[in-house]
Amino acid sequence: MERKAAIPGAPGAAALILGIETSCDETACAVLDGSGAIRAEKLASQIADHAPFGGVVPEIAARAHLDILPAMVGAALREAGVSAGNLAAIAATAGPGLIGGLIVGANFAKGMAIATGAPFFAINHLEAHALTARLPGLDVSVPEFPYLLLLVSGGHTALIAVEGVGRYCRLGTTLDDAAGEAFDKVAKLLGLPYPGGPALERLAAEGDAARFALPRPMLGRPGCDFSFSGLKTAVAQRVAATPPGALSRSFAADLAASFQRAVVEAMADRLGRALAMMPGCTAVVVAGGVAANGAIRSALANVAARDGRSLIAPPLRLCTDNAVMVAWAAIERMRAGSPSDPLAAPCRPRWMLNCAA
C-alpha cells in the first residue's frame, strides 16, 4: 500500500497517529485517527513484576518495556488496520518519568520515524494528562480553555492552569511526596499489598476517620503547594507506637480512614485556593491514578460546585498512564500548528510544565 505523506497542520480524520507510553511501570500504545477516535489501544501492567518489592524497580520496568513493546505496537497497528508506513505521525512520552523506560519508548518511536519518514513528537507526560479531557467521544463534557487541572498520581501532584495547547501555568506542586506515593507508603506501613492506594481506600471504608488527629499539610497556608511527607511520618509514628506484630484490623482501618480524610481536606483546601487564582476558568479537570479514590473525587466535586464549576474526570483508564493521551497530545499540537520534534530531542526524567511566556 502506498504510504500517505505526513499531514502538516491539523490532521484530517484519515490521518493515523501512533502514541507510545513507557514512563513508569505500564507499557502502552494506541492508534488514533485525526479526529481523536481510538482505532486501537493496548496496555500491559507490570504490577506482578514489582509487587514482591513493594514498589516500582526502574531496571525491571525498563527491561519489561523492551521485551513487550515491539509486539504490542505490531498488534495495535494490525488492529487499527494500518501499516507503519502509513502513519501520519509517531509520538512517545519523553518525560517526566523513569529514564530507562523513557529511553525505551522514545527510541523505539524515533526508530520508526526514521524508517517511515513520519514526523516524531516528544510528548510531555504532564501535557498529555492536561489535554486528555478534551478527547472527543468521552462521556464527559469537553472543557474549553482556560481550565484548571489537578494532577494526582504516584509521581506527580500539581495544580496547573491550562490556558491553551502549549500554554500552561503551574500554580502549585508537591514539595516532597506525591499523593499517590504517600498512599502507597502508608499502605505499606499498614501491611497492605502493592499497589497500596486502592487497598487503603477499601480499608478506610471500614474505619473511623475521627479516631486519630493527623496533620493537614499546608492547610490554610498561602499558595497552592502540597506536602505529604509530614503526614506520612505522623502515620509511621502511630504505627511505631503499637506493640510488635501485626496491626489489628480495627486499628489499621481507623488509621487508614484518618489518613485519607487528612489528604482529602488538604486537597480541597489547595483546590479552593487555586480556583480563587483562576476566576475565569471554565472547569476543574482531575487526572492521575489517585483520581479513582471516591472520597477525594467527591470532595473535589464539592469544592468545584461551590465555586460554580464542574469537575471533569476522564474514564479511569485514561486518568492513569496510557498511550491514548500521548497520541491525542500530538494531535492537539498538530492542530495548533506546533512543529514536530527533532530526532535528537532528549528524554527528561524531570520535565515540569511551567508558566508559559
Q: Does 55 belong to an annotated binding site?
A: no
Question: pLDDT for 40-57, tens place per residue?
Answer: 999 999 999 998 988 899
Interval 169-185 mean pLDDT: 93
Q: Does 139 belong to an annotated binding site?
A: no
Quote the CA–CA distance of 114 and 135 in Å, as a whole number. Answer: 28
Q: Does 293 belong to an annotated binding site?
A: yes
**Across-strand partners of 45?**
26
Question: pLDDT for 21-43, tens place per residue?
Answer: 999 999 999 999 999 999 999 99
Q: Does 105 belong to an annotated binding site?
A: no
Q: Does 321 belong to an annotated binding site?
A: yes
Query: Does the pLDDT of residue 82 top 50, yes or no?
Result: yes
3-state class (DSSP) for residue 17: strand
Q: Does 184 belong to an annotated binding site?
A: yes
Query: Does the pLDDT of residue 146 top 60, yes or no?
Result: yes
Query: Does the pLDDT of residue 249 top 90, yes or no?
Result: yes
Interval 312-336 mean pLDDT: 94
pLDDT of the residue at 266: 95
Residue 153: which pLDDT band, with cuts at 50, 70 and 90? confident
Domains of the chain: 16-132+320-335 (3.30.420.40), 141-313 (3.30.420.40)
Question: pLDDT for 251-285, tens place per residue?
Answer: 999 999 999 999 999 999 999 999 999 999 999 99
Q: Does 74 belong to an annotated binding site?
A: no
Phi, psi of 284 (to 5 degrees): -110, 125
Cα–Cα distance list, 125 to 136, 319, 321, 349, 353 (Å): 19, 12, 9, 10, 10
Q: Does 332 belong to an annotated binding site?
A: no
Q: Does 86 belong to an annotated binding site?
A: no
Answer yes or no: are the C-beta atoms of 176 and 349 closer than 8 Å.
no
Answer yes or no: are the C-beta atoms of 286 and 150 closer than 8 Å.
yes
The model's pTM is: 0.91
pLDDT of the residue at 54: 84
Quote the CA–CA distance of 66 and 69 in Å, as a whole number. Answer: 6
Query: Does the pLDDT of residue 317 top 50, yes or no?
Result: yes
Across the chain, mean pLDDT equals 93
The residue with cell 487499527 is 80
Q: Does 129 belong to an annotated binding site?
A: yes
The CA-based dihedral angle spanning residues 282, 219, 199, 250, taken in that order and rounded to the nearest 10 degrees? -140
Q: Does 258 belong to an annotated binding site?
A: no
Burial readout 213-241 (b: 16 or more C-beta within 10 A, e: otherwise): ebebbbeeeeebbbbbebbbebbeebeee
pLDDT of the residue at 138: 87
pLDDT of the residue at 141: 85
Interval 305-328 mean pLDDT: 94
Question: pLDDT for 226-237, tens place per residue?
Answer: 999 999 999 999
Q: Does 65 belong to an annotated binding site?
A: no
